[in-house]
Amino acid sequence: MYTEALNLDPTDKNTKSLWFLFCGNKLMVSLKEDKASIPVTEDISELQLELVRNQYIGKLGGIHCFCAEVNSEEDVPPQLKLLDLRQLMGLVDEEIFWMAGKAFQIMDWDRTFQFCGKCGSPTETIKNEHAKVCTSCKFINYPRISPAIIVAVVKDKQLLLARGKRFTAAIYSVLAGFAEPGETLEECVAREVMEEVGIKIKNISYFGSQPWPFPNSLMIAFTAEYESGEIKIDENELLDAGWFTAQNIPPRPSKISIASKLIDWFIENH
């Protein structure tokens, strides 16, 4: 996704703009058959919404983008429907989906940090920056981003896949986990694989990265090779894990995810 440089107070904002409008964690969209669209308007007052707060989040394809929220579902116009971000996958272009993810994270941060976590005083948004400053102690808070690793582990032309307990569908994916304070990303990769399936890995290599707004992750992807050990799953995290060839990959995550791109990489190369 490419967005133009951010200016939180654009001088030409009275033009046609995309509005990512939330009610809680759900986004307002227009639905037509198997496609969803984000409201576009020159004047948000046309939708007759009572906005709790709003933030400017940049440009997409030359069009200004804003995020905002309302208090209750009663405030949602009848022509718009509410979808969560996972339901939005496949219903909009990827560029729109990633901007919706950014909008969700900024909106959630704006809602969550109305008060200073250090002294409890009200905060106010800093001009031309996604940051909030405490009106009393001047502590500055930025939107939360949680780094997480995700890794494709290969052994003899087989890929390590696991089914997590939190998966609502019967899908298998590569292993992932959040980085902890004081460790490098490579250390995090090795630790997560050992903790979740009990094996050692080697030759850890960077693959790519992807924002993942569930709720505020930055996924950093790696590939690695099996070194030693037998699979022993962490039953608190996983239901199953195993080695799969390119010919017998089980149901897997959405194509939009970097997890699926890692699986595609394995299939193409093995």
> What pLDDT score does 2 carry?
42
Question: Where are the chain's structural domains?
Answer: 17-112, 114-143, 146-269
> What pLDDT score does 53 carry?
87
> What pLDDT score does 12 carry?
60
79-113 pLDDT, tens per residue? 999 999 999 998 999 999 999 999 999 999 999 99
* HEC profile of the chain: CCCECCCCCCCCCCCCEEEEEEECCEEEEEEECCEEECCEECCHHHHCCCCCEEEEEEEECCEEEEEEEECCHHHCCCCCEEECHHHHCCCCCHHHHHHHHHHHHHHHHHHHCCECCCCCCEEEECCCCCCEEECCCCCEECCCCEEEEEEEEEECCEEEEEEECCCCCCCCECEEEECCCCCCHHHHHHHHHHHHHCCEEEEEEEEEEEEECCCCEEEEEEEEEEEECCCCCCCCCEEEEEEECHHHCCCCCCCCCHHHHHHHHHHHHC
Domain 17-112 bears CATH identifier 3.40.50.300: no
> What pLDDT score does 37 carry?
96
Which stretches of the chain score pLDDT less than 70? Answer: 1-14
The pTM assigned to this predicted structure is 0.88
> What pLDDT score does 167 carry?
79
Domain 146-269 bears CATH identifier 3.30.420.480: no
8-26 pLDDT, tens per residue? 555 565 688 999 999 999 9
> What pLDDT score does 91 carry?
95
